[in-house]
Structure 1
Amino acid sequence: MCNCQDTLIPQIGVVTDICTETADVKTFRVEKIGGGKLFEHLPGQCAILSVPGKGEAIFSITSSPTNEKYMEFSIKRCGSITNFLHFDIEPGQQIAVRGPYGNHFPVEDKLKGKDLLFIAGGIGLAPLRSVINYMLDKRDDYGSIDVVYGARSKEDFVRYDELTNVWPVQKDTRVHLTIDRAQE
């Protein structure tokens, strides 16, 4: 884990992939130059993404700390920085990242052995995705896992494939999806 001084120094990352999740959410995969994730983090922490000449903003790290290859950020378009990220950043471009920041989920002590219920709506899944995937990677350390996730419509679910094809097939893991408007 980085010490406090390291969190103030921007790391230069390369955007290696951009996945369009919904009409206004994209997931950005970032690696350090030469490969690997930029720094160690704990489930639920966040980082500051900086775009020189444009500004910076703080976003949840949505990838699990167990992933050593890259970091991911699922970002909803809602302002000048997020508009720039959505429309002007392409794979191969560099971006500055500082972190980790914020509190984390107590996965190593208070949550071990417990049955867990996660509830999220819309982009609120972003900080939970990190902890859920961490727990699935260390599945024997936790009890049952239930995820209740709501969105306006099916098209507004973030990481739909993961929600329907990855998480539900894990041991003692259930995913309950709900939408505001009735549709197939």
Structure 2
Amino acid sequence: MVRLNKIYTRTGDDGTTGLGNGERRSKADARVESYGTVDELNAVLGLARLHASGETDRLLARIQNDLFDLGADLSTPDTGQPLPFERLAIVQSQVDVIEREIDRLNADLEPLRSFVLPAGTALAAHLHLARTVARRAERLMVALSEIGGERVSSAAIRYVNRLSDLLFVMARHANDAGKADVLWVPGANR
């Protein structure tokens, strides 16, 4: 169980932070940037939940919990060395849930006739913002995985990739199942 009794420790005043395995890294480190962006995504989903209810709110709550799992995964590098605790990592079953939700929600949507602008209802707009943060998190995670000596699990990358797709579908769903999507009109303002 996590216990946080003291909010500030002053250990980060030198520009470093502690990873889950106790290692200190720069706050500008690619790993810290990756899990920090996942945290940002979680906060954006919290804003989206202000406009969600019922099944949508429950799904977003589940995703928020998964994002803490993803943050734990990213903040504890898989070095192959034993840890004094079980390392938390994203697993394929979490990806599978996201894929099932995409398929379920996409079945009710109007077919796309153009690219969708990130607009519409308040919920849709927040979900589109979350989608873009998820894509940035994915790019950062891939960049991290390409750094020598760093590992990012393929399940973690698949999860955030599918999540951005789910957020797109959820945004369309929030726009009256796509009927109220705001479509891009190429060259409309020339």
TM-score by length of 2: 0.31
Q: Which has the higher contact order (CA 8 A, sep 6+)?
A: 2
Say which structure is richer in helix: 2
TM-score (normalizing by structure 1): 0.31
Looking at CA atoms only, which structure, 1 or 2, has the larger radius of gyration? 2
